[in-house]
Chain A
């Protein structure tokens, strides 16, 4: 099993560009989530999903879109990148539609917006 796979690992964007961070898991987990990690701050939840076709907002959803068309994939879209979105992004999954199970994280994607 590959676990949780995030791509790309590194990305540089110009302000206003759009891009998609990909997240895929092969463990048949229903719960998937996106976080951002900024210096001096804890991980913050952007969006999450408890199953295919179901998504909800987290703590910092503005500027990001998600969709969940399959159990395996949970892409995060930046529609018009801003320097404030420079961060390290993590995708995580958990068994069942709940976050009370063991969490499995991707390796992270470092995004720089110029």
Chain B
């Protein structure tokens, strides 16, 4: 079993829908990252969380340390949000363990 599991693996939605991507992990962590990989392959950092909730524009990330679970929400989704969203956790030392990613497609 992978240390980091993302669900769903693939998600297709219509423009304007509220999107939720989930990340569950099996180890104790000190930080969790959400990343976005564009169709062209580039990767950008969206959030780093150690507790609670963060918001940036239409993106919201939450984490529940006790339940070992994080969610990434996108409000009023747009075709430009189409990308692969990746969860990564820091279980210790200076290493990250990554989920396999969630491929999101937003249709106009």
User: Which A residues form the contact surface with B (CB < 8 A)?
Assistant: 31, 33, 35, 40-45, 48, 50, 56, 58-59, 88, 90, 92, 97-105, 107-108
Evaluate contact between B100 and A40: CB separation under 8 angstroms.
yes
| Chain B 46-67 interface residues, beta-carbon cutoff 8 Å to A | 48, 50
How many A-B pairs with Cβ below 8 Å? Answer: 63
B96 at the interface (CB under 8 A from A): yes
Of the candidates B4, B95, B100, which one forms a contact with A99 in the assembled complex, judged by CB atoms under 8 Å apart? B95
Evaluate contact between A48 and B94: CB separation under 8 angstroms.
yes
User: Which B residues form the contact surface with A (CB < 8 A)?
Assistant: 2, 4, 30-31, 33, 35, 41-45, 48, 50, 86, 88, 90, 93-101
Known: A43-B88, A90-B43, A102-B48. 10 other contacts (CB 8 A): A31-B94, A40-B100, A42-B100, A43-B86, A45-B96, A48-B95, A99-B90, A99-B95, A100-B50, A108-B41
A97 cross-chain contacts in B, Cβ below 8 A:
94
Closest CB in chain A relative to B23 CB, distance in Å = 11
Q: Given known contacts A31-B94, A41-B100, A100-B30, is B41 in contact with A107 (CB within 8 Å)?
A: yes
Closest CB in chain B relative to A55 CB, distance in Å = 11
A43 cross-chain contacts in B, Cβ below 8 A:
86, 88, 96, 98
Evaluate contact between B41 and A88: CB separation under 8 angstroms.
yes
Evaluate contact between A102 and B90: CB separation under 8 angstroms.
no
CA distance A42 to B102 in the complex (A): 10
Closest CB in chain A relative to B44 CB, distance in Å = 7
Return the 8 tightest CB-CB contacts between A and B, nearest first.
A42-B98, A105-B43, A43-B98, A100-B31, A103-B45, A42-B100, A102-B45, A99-B94
A90 cross-chain contacts in B, Cβ below 8 A:
43
Cβ-closest chain A residue relative to B87: A42
Cβ-closest chain B residue relative to A41: B100
Q: Given known contacts A50-B94, A107-B42, A108-B41, is B100 in contact with A101 (CB within 8 Å)?
A: no
CA distance A59 to B92 in the complex (A): 13
